[in-house]
Amino acid sequence: MGQSEVDTIEESVRFVARHYQPGRFDSRKAWPQMRERLGIATERQSLTPLWRVAVVAIVVITAGILYLTAERGDTLIAGYDHTEFTLPDQTRIVMQKEAELKYEKDFDKTERRVSMQGEIAFAVTRDEAKPFIVSTPAAQIEVLGTEFTVIADNVETQLSVKSGIVRFTPDDLQVPLLCTAGMTARYNAADETIKVASPDSEMKISARTQSLSFDNIALKEVVRILSHFYKVKIELPGSESELTFSSSFTQKSIIEIIDIINITLDSHIAVIIP
Amino acid sequence: MRVLEKKFSEYFHTYYRQLCLHASHFMGNTEEAEDVVQETFVSLWDKREQIEMIKSVKSYLYTAVRNNCLTHIRDAKPSTQLDTLPPDTLLTEEEQENRAEMEARIWKMIDELPERRREIFLMAKRDGMSYKEIATQTGLSIKTVENHVFRAMQTLRNKDIRAWLFFFA
């Protein structure tokens, strides 16, 4: 160890000694006040079983995964972080501790459907004939073949897409959102709000407060969202589909919104009257 | 706890102490240093939806703490020219981060020392007392005092001190 290194350590030791007090700078002590200050709730969330498994044929504990096989299908529960597993269709998943994944016996027949809770990263094998569907307590996530991570509990589901395109539909909102690489979508069923963010744009929809906010979103996506949310057909000139829009609306009618967009962007979108 | 709250609390517990030490290099006293760090976490919470977008939350926190310290200092004494402050800018940001991490490990080591050894260690390193003075004060022999300090420094060296040294090599 060189002299200058010894000196630097010595300097740091003295610095720390000067400021040292038992119990000071302790995050465990500071956390309760911080939590209160930020208004974070304290109740524990426990994972509830997604199915009641009537008959458990085999219970196998292999390398940190609790693997339950029953007549209806299989359940995996991860005992550790970064637990890897390969599904029958060769899709690879990485589960974090306490994550659960279930699939039925007919997985990979006409479609590939799984249900889950906790945090799981997926690398889905491409199969255009059979969509891969992830069902969480609050949302459905449909993919063709792509990489993404889902974190879900009873009330909230979050999707982050690494590659490919993933369709994310919150159960209560029935607005399908298309998420591409680099995007994150989060839906909270308690306040009925979905937020979609990418490095340069953001969108927030709240069913409860009837508000929508767009920050740098392409007009064609805005129009798609509005048509699902308000259940109308909206036409949009092709030349205007890539215009970007930033604004928010609370409790406005679809007509008002369309007027505002057209004025703002000098566009020509219109509701199609059947 | 919601997903974000869980992630946020992980960041809080991981970086809290080292950020407090980092802030202590700028602020006059430890209460103010701790206040700045807590305020910085509050503003990180305000940005929590974008947490995923931040490439390095750690760098963000270090930079924000430093900036908030400087703002505090300037606001307390508006006439202060920030250039005339004792510079902690001799170190790069990365070096500052490594230093604070090192200091957090030293802190933990001191916490874990047996009480007697800690008392003696602090007398030597904090109060600058000589082994002779400590011996007189505690009634121990100089050799014993020397031993205690040596053992404490040994504990420190045995923990991952080498990783930090790498950056200063």
Cα–Cα distance measured from residue B32 to residue B41, given in angstroms and rounded to the nearest whole number? 14
Asked if residue B94 is part of any domain, the answer here is: no
Is the predicted pLDDT of residue A249 greater than 60, yes or no?
A: yes
* Cross-strand partners of B60: none
The pTM score is 0.51
Q: Do A272 and A234 meet the contact criterion of CB atoms below 8 Å apart?
A: yes
DSSP summary character for residue B52: G
Give the mean pLDDT of A148-167: 88
Is the predicted pLDDT of residue B163 greater than 50, yes or no?
A: no
Cα–Cα distance measured from residue A66 to residue A102, given in angstroms and rounded to the nearest whole number? 12
Q: What pLDDT score does A57 carry?
A: 45
Q: Is A21 on the interface with B (CB under 8 A)?
A: yes
Where does the pLDDT of residue A53 fall: very low under 50, low under 70, confident under 90, or very high at 90 and above?
very low
CATH of the domain at B151: 1.10.10
Please give the residue range of the domain that contains residue B15.
1-89
- Tally of CA atoms within 13 A in the half-sphere of A234 that contains its CB: 27
Helix axes B142-158, A3-19, angle to 10 degrees: 100
Cα–Cα distance measured from residue B53 to residue A127, given in angstroms and rounded to the nearest whole number? 30
Q: What pLDDT score does A59 carry?
A: 52
Q: Is A37 on the interface with B (CB under 8 A)?
A: yes
pLDDT digits (tens, 9 = 90+) for A70-114: 777 888 888 888 888 889 889 999 998 889 999 988 888 888 999
Work out the mean pLDDT of chain A and round it to a whole number.
Answer: 84
Are residues B69 and B128 located together in one domain of the fold? no
Cβ–Cβ of B107/A26 closer than 8 Å? no
Work out the mean pLDDT of chain B and round it to a whole number.
Answer: 84
Q: What pLDDT score does A63 carry?
A: 60
Q: Which residues of B touch A40 (CB under 8 A)?
A: 1, 5
Q: What pLDDT score does B8 carry?
A: 87
Where does the pLDDT of residue B164 fall: very low under 50, low under 70, confident under 90, or very high at 90 and above?
very low
Are residues B80 and B8 located together in one domain of the fold? yes
How many separate domains does chain A show? 1
Q: Which residue of B has its CA nearest to A119?
A: B3
Asked if residue A208 is part of any domain, the answer here is: no
Cβ–Cβ of B106/A12 closer than 8 Å? yes
Are residues B21 and B74 located together in one domain of the fold? yes
Cβ–Cβ of A14/B126 closer than 8 Å? yes
Where does the pLDDT of residue A38 fall: very low under 50, low under 70, confident under 90, or very high at 90 and above?
confident
Are residues B128 and B65 located together in one domain of the fold? no
Is the predicted pLDDT of residue B66 greater than 70, yes or no?
A: yes
Q: Is B165 on the interface with A (CB under 8 A)?
A: yes
CATH of the domain at B33: 1.10.1740
Are residues B6 and B80 located together in one domain of the fold? yes
Are residues B74 and B19 located together in one domain of the fold? yes
Asked if residue A138 is part of any domain, the answer here is: no
Q: Which residues of A touch B107 (CB under 8 A)?
A: 16, 20, 25
Which site among A4, A16, A196 would you substitute to test the B interface, given the most B Cβ atoms closer than 10 Å to its Cβ?
A16
Largest CA distance in chain B: 59
Are residues B2 and B85 located together in one domain of the fold? yes
Where does the pLDDT of residue B40 fall: very low under 50, low under 70, confident under 90, or very high at 90 and above?
very high
ipTM of the complex: 0.87
User: Shortest CB distance from B126 goes to which of A4, A18, A188?
Assistant: A18
Are residues B150 and B76 located together in one domain of the fold? no
How many separate domains does chain B show? 2
Is the predicted pLDDT of residue A45 greater than 50, yes or no?
A: no
Q: Is A40 on the interface with B (CB under 8 A)?
A: yes
Q: What pLDDT score does A46 carry?
A: 41
Cα–Cα distance measured from residue A157 to residue A249, given in angstroms and rounded to the nearest whole number? 24
Spell out the residues 6+ positions from residue A75 whose beta carbon is closer than 8 angstroms to its own.
Answer: A51, A53, A67, A68, A100, A101, A102
pLDDT digits (tens, 9 = 90+) for A57-82: 445 555 667 777 777 788 888 888 88
Is the predicted pLDDT of residue A51 greater than 50, yes or no?
A: no
Q: Is A24 on the interface with B (CB under 8 A)?
A: yes
Q: Is B53 on the interface with A (CB under 8 A)?
A: yes
Q: What pLDDT score does A48 carry?
A: 39
Nearest to B15 by CA among B44, B50, B47, B52: B44
CB pairs under 8 A between A and B: 101
Cβ–Cβ of A31/B38 closer than 8 Å? no
Please give the residue range of the domain that contains residue A222.
213-274
User: Shortest CB distance from A27 goes to which of B16, B21, B122?
Assistant: B16
Is the predicted pLDDT of residue A129 greater than 90, yes or no?
A: no
Which tokens hold the place of A19? 């400021």
To the nearest 10°, the Cα dihedral for B152, B153, B157, B161? 110
